[in-house]
Every structure is written in C-alpha cells, then in structure tokens.
C-alpha cells in the first residue's frame, strides 16, 4: 500500500495548486454557526448576571466568520441598544462581543 501511495504522489506542485490546496484545507476548518435553544440562552444569561454581580471573569465562545474564538474577561458594560457586551480582558483591552455571535459562556478558569 505504501509503494502505491508514493507512486501516485506529486513530485512537483505548482503555486496555483498549492494555493488551491490551502483554500480547500481552510474551507474544511470552517464550521457552521450552531443554533442555540431557549434553555442554553437562559443559562448563559444567568452566568453573565452572576459574573457581573461578583466581578468574575468569563470565557465567551464567539462565532467569527466560520471559526470559533474565545474571549476571556470580565463584563463591565451591557449595551442593549447595540446588543453587545463590553468585555475587559487581562491586558485591560475592551472587546466588543455581539449577543448574536455568542455560542457559549462559562466561568473562566482561574490561574
């Protein structure tokens, strides 16, 4: 089996092929945005409310154009007009997290 794989393997790859393979690999890593049910949303709201009350940091899982990234920090303001949280991270930077992009919220690991 290994000999057959080597026989059909490409010896030279054109830059156009390399770019195409990179685009394909990138497209495979993208995921669809998960749909949240009412119970998950309610649990997240409770977690955020408790965090704001005690000033505890949270870990937000945010959907960002096919990828899931994590924002860790304390919520210091809820903007109901723009529908976003303002999250201050450990560096002191403010991150804007839109309500619609949030997939999951949990207490940030300490340490």
Does residue 82 fall inside a structural domain?
Answer: yes
Express each pLDDT in 55-92 by its tens digit.
899 999 999 988 899 999 999 899 999 999 999 988 98
Question: What H or E segment, with its residue span, contains residue 77?
Answer: strand 67-79
| Exposure of 61 in the CB half-sphere (CA atoms within 13 A) | 12
Nearest residue to 106 via CA among 56, 31, 32, 44:
44
SS3 65: coil
Write out pLDDT tens, residues 19-47: 888 888 888 888 888 899 999 999 999 99
Report the distance separating Cα 95 and Cα 110, nearest Å. 20
User: Quick check: is 7 in a domain?
Assistant: no
Domain housing 60: 38-107
Distance, in Å, from the CA atom of 66 to the CA atom of 29, rounded to the nearest integer, reads 8
CATH of the domain at 50: 2.30.30.100
Quick check: is 99 in a domain? yes
| In-domain check, residue 48 | yes
Q: Is residue 21 part of a domain?
A: no
Is residue 96 included in any domain, yes or no? yes
Contact 107, 47 (CB under 8 A): yes
The predicted model scores a pTM of: 0.72
The total of other beta-carbon atoms located within 10 Å of residue 101's CB is: 18
73 domain residue, yes or no = yes
In a 3-state reduction of DSSP, which class is residue 54?
Answer: helix
**Residue 27: inside a domain, yes or no?**
no
How many independent structural domains does the chain possess?
A: 1
């Amino acid at each position: 089996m290994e000999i057959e794989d080597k026989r059909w393997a490409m010896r030279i790859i054109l830059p156009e092929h390399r770019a195409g393979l990179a685009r394909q690999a990138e497209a495979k890593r993208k995921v669809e945005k998960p749909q949240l049910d009412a119970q998950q949303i309610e649990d997240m709201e409770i977690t955020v409310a408790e965090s704001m009350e005690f000033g505890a940091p949270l870990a937000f899982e945010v959907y960002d154009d096919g990828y899931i990234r994590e924002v860790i920090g304390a919520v210091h303001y809820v903007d109901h007009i723009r529908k976003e949280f303002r999250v201050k991270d450990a560096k002191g930077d403010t991150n804007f997290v839109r309500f619609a992009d949030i997939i999951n919220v949990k207490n940030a690991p300490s340490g």
